[in-house]
Structure 1
């Protein structure tokens, strides 16, 4: 591609991003319009947009989301989420912060075992019902959970898609991630709880009358269809097992989710049309448009030029390289989806590691993983889980604006990235 296409692609992406931030036009319309402009100016084409693994729509993400949305839609009809909401609130004695802390920890741990998008799809419906019972705004709880999912997913190889790319390129194992990143993630989750206590203190108020009403409820009465619940839990268990056994079975998460969704619809008495109505179609359309816009930046060489410039700044200084790579990755991943960013940076990082003598402690790889994973918390569209939660909130008529999310996301990202920089410096350059 020539420079004209590159600058035009940048103009389209920046213009679309500005409109998403302004919220004057719905983000789905902006994403689809931006995708159309990328195709119209020749920054990408139909083959690159729909069939390319590097510059096209990530159909694995789209169909993973759709499959899990169908499963969640069936489970929602059984009353399971109402049951879990009442159970959680009663265990926390109806104290709003205790409830938030419980949900944050559950989300972080689950995101380390599953991918963070699947986790928020399962946790968000429970959260909405919890907030309804407590009569508190749902936005602080949903924001805290999505940030916990991005932080928790950093701990393991399977927790966040960029980690899988990094592990493949660097030859890292599941245990490598646990040993090097999990200790930091535990600290970051504790720090997140402290930040949540401070950031959301105005809405985390205890209501004695409301608490007494909730404590008198019997959660078992919330279950409306025990047979369908049993079917749904069995299928969900099979799907989770399929995710965990991916290294053995070699089925992509999207395939596992679609198989589970198809099986559950087939064996249950649910109406197919009712279940499909539960799918967040606008969210899927937004992802499609966003993938095509980012593909235009990749196809015209914009992302590659940024990555090469970053590599030039790093040079042969391992400490400076690790700090720069972590910080720059956090900034860029707040704007560009971290999956194509890591896919582009992985070969460049491999070259840097080679020129620096092999990097036996893999410090540059850990810097890339931390920056890409934690940087996703910075903005409302910085990570897939963020977009999914915003879609769920909007569908339930409790919309979260771009700036409402981002003003908290920037704080959490700044603190967690700063702690990560300190961790990398201490562990790999001071104590090693």
Structure 2
């Protein structure tokens, strides 16, 4: 990192990051402003920012969000989320922690089968309605679900975008992730429930009168448009099937989501303008700006230099390399988006695996250290992972904003605990019991 472009890019990124943290300006303004400055100082250019697969806007993420937001917007009009909210509260008998535990487990499992962004888009509206019914602050519940989505997404190849990049580079399969990462993801979900019980203990205020009122409600009465509901559920089922069958169909999740949104608008009587009005446009713009800024750091070699330093620090010690890669990935993924970080770090990890005599089929502890560090590190800050940003956008749209520090002070605790347990897991499974 010797030329002035690198230092200028770092300065712009840090400046934008400070503005996002301080919340003196809206995070979307800070991200787009930072992206603009990156283009002005030539840290990146239009081709790299808008057309490059590695250093530009990840349009797959943007259009996945767009498609799913449109589908969720249509489903919201049916009363489905009110139905699910009443159902879940009645099953938990109005007890706040039971409700949170139920939503956390559902989120973690769904994130493993779908992906964490899609899951929070579906779960967050239900959560807001549950909290409204019980007179609870929604922030603790939404934050807990973000943590669960990032932990649950670790378990499978399709659960978190970084896992797809790692699988492609290392030649790993869906079952490989299940065997190596699903056990630790299940353990960490249980640990998360314990942490939530402690961190959010003041939020679990049981209102007997409100709970009793909800218990008298009939879920079916919440459904306002049964025909639209069946259309929406059918399309959502097709979309989910498309996600799960990605290894067979080879359609990107973004393509599946857009096709699903288009199909649902076509078969229903919902107006296109109304559907587009449900899309979180500021969130999509924030992602675009963030991708451009991080892409500029890649273009100028900043992230490559950091990754190389991390790789050099590991030396030839396999255990040391594993723990350093795990911890370093968690720290960096909490600062920059974990997708471009993993895209940059994957080839370096491949070289490390080769130097240490790793198996040709990619089954090496370093790959699991990279996946765990990148996925779990995303919980550290409010912009560490895509799911975090999406939930903050939904909360803000519903006039229940979650600040950067409100999220991050809990995220740092969860990240430290889960990464520490992951380090113990990697040590025991691949070095002590191997």
Q: Same fold (TM over 0.5)?
A: yes
Residue 25 of structure 1: how far off its partner (Å): 0.8
Number of aligned residue pairs: give it. Answer: 432
Residue 312 of structure 1: how far off its partner (Å): 0.8
Residue 271 of structure 1: how far off its partner (Å): 1.3
Alignment correspondent of 1:154: 154
Alignment correspondent of 1:334: 334
Alignment correspondent of 1:270: 270
Q: Report 1:244-323 matches (<5 A).
A: 244-323=244-323
Q: Give, in whole Å, the separation in 2 of the partners of 1:263 and 1:12.
A: 41
Q: Give, in whole Å, the separation in 1 of the partners of 2:5 and 2:130.
A: 49
Alignment correspondent of 1:182: 182
Alignment correspondent of 1:207: 207
| Alpha carbons 1:361, 1:428 under 8 Å: kept | no
Alignment correspondent of 2:416: 414
Q: Report 1:395-414 matches (<5 A).
A: 395-414=397-416
SS at match of 1:56: coil
Which contiguous aligned blocks of 4+ residues in structure 1 show a shift greater than 6 angstroms? none
Residue 159 of structure 1: how far off its partner (Å): 0.4
Q: Deviations over 1:372-416 (max 9, x none)?
A: 000000000000000000000000000000000000000000000
| Alpha carbons 2:111, 2:149 under 8 Å: kept | yes
Residue 265 of structure 1: how far off its partner (Å): 0.4
Alignment correspondent of 2:366: 364
Q: Give, in whole Å, the separation in 1 of the partners of 2:77 and 2:9.
A: 44
Q: Deviations over 1:135-179 (max 9, x none)?
A: 000000000001000000000011001101111111111111111
SS at match of 1:205: coil
Q: Give, in whole Å, the separation in 1 of the partners of 2:228 and 2:154.
A: 34
Alignment correspondent of 1:60: 60
Alignment correspondent of 2:234: 234
Q: Give, in whole Å, the separation in 2 of the partners of 1:164 and 1:48.
A: 22
Residue 203 of structure 1: how far off its partner (Å): 1.1
Q: Give, in whole Å, the separation in 2 of the partners of 1:88 and 1:301.
A: 49
Q: Give, in whole Å, the separation in 2 of the partners of 1:329 and 1:3.
A: 25
Q: Give, in whole Å, the separation in 1 of the partners of 2:133 and 2:3.
A: 56
Q: Give, in whole Å, the separation in 2 of the partners of 1:203 and 1:145.
A: 15
Residue 205 of structure 1: how far off its partner (Å): 1.4
Residue 361 of structure 1: how far off its partner (Å): 4.6
SS at match of 2:266: helix
Q: Give, in whole Å, the separation in 2 of the partners of 1:267 and 1:182.
A: 38
Q: Give, in whole Å, the separation in 2 of the partners of 1:176 and 1:267.
A: 39
SS at match of 1:247: helix
**More displaced stretch, 93-102 vs 266-275:** 266-275
SS at match of 1:334: helix
Residue 351 of structure 1: how far off its partner (Å): 0.5
TM-align CA RMSD: 0.8
Q: Give, in whole Å, the separation in 1 of the partners of 2:285 and 2:169.
A: 30
Unaligned residue ranges in structure 2 (runs of 5+): none
| Alpha carbons 2:188, 2:418 under 8 Å: kept | yes
| Alpha carbons 2:172, 2:363 under 8 Å: kept | no
Q: Give, in whole Å, the separation in 2 of the partners of 1:293 and 1:143.
A: 25
Q: Deviations over 1:231-252 (max 9, x none)?
A: 0000000000000111111111
Alignment correspondent of 1:33: 33
Alignment correspondent of 1:20: 20
Q: Give, in whole Å, the separation in 2 of the partners of 1:79 and 1:361.
A: 46
Residue 212 of structure 1: how far off its partner (Å): 0.7
Alignment correspondent of 2:432: 430
| Alpha carbons 1:2, 1:300 under 8 Å: kept | no
Alignment correspondent of 1:133: 133
Residue 132 of structure 1: how far off its partner (Å): 0.2
Unaligned residue ranges in structure 1 (runs of 5+): none
Residue 358 of structure 1: how far off its partner (Å): 1.5
SS at match of 1:380: coil
Assess, with a 3 A threshold, how the Cα gap between structure 1 residues 304 and 129 changes in structure 2: closer, same or farther.
same
Q: Give, in whole Å, the separation in 2 of the partners of 1:62 and 1:106.
A: 24
Alignment correspondent of 1:383: 385
Residue 206 of structure 1: how far off its partner (Å): 1.1
| Alpha carbons 1:88, 1:99 under 8 Å: kept | yes
SS at match of 2:193: helix
Q: Give, in whole Å, the separation in 2 of the partners of 1:186 and 1:240.
A: 22
Alignment correspondent of 1:353: 353
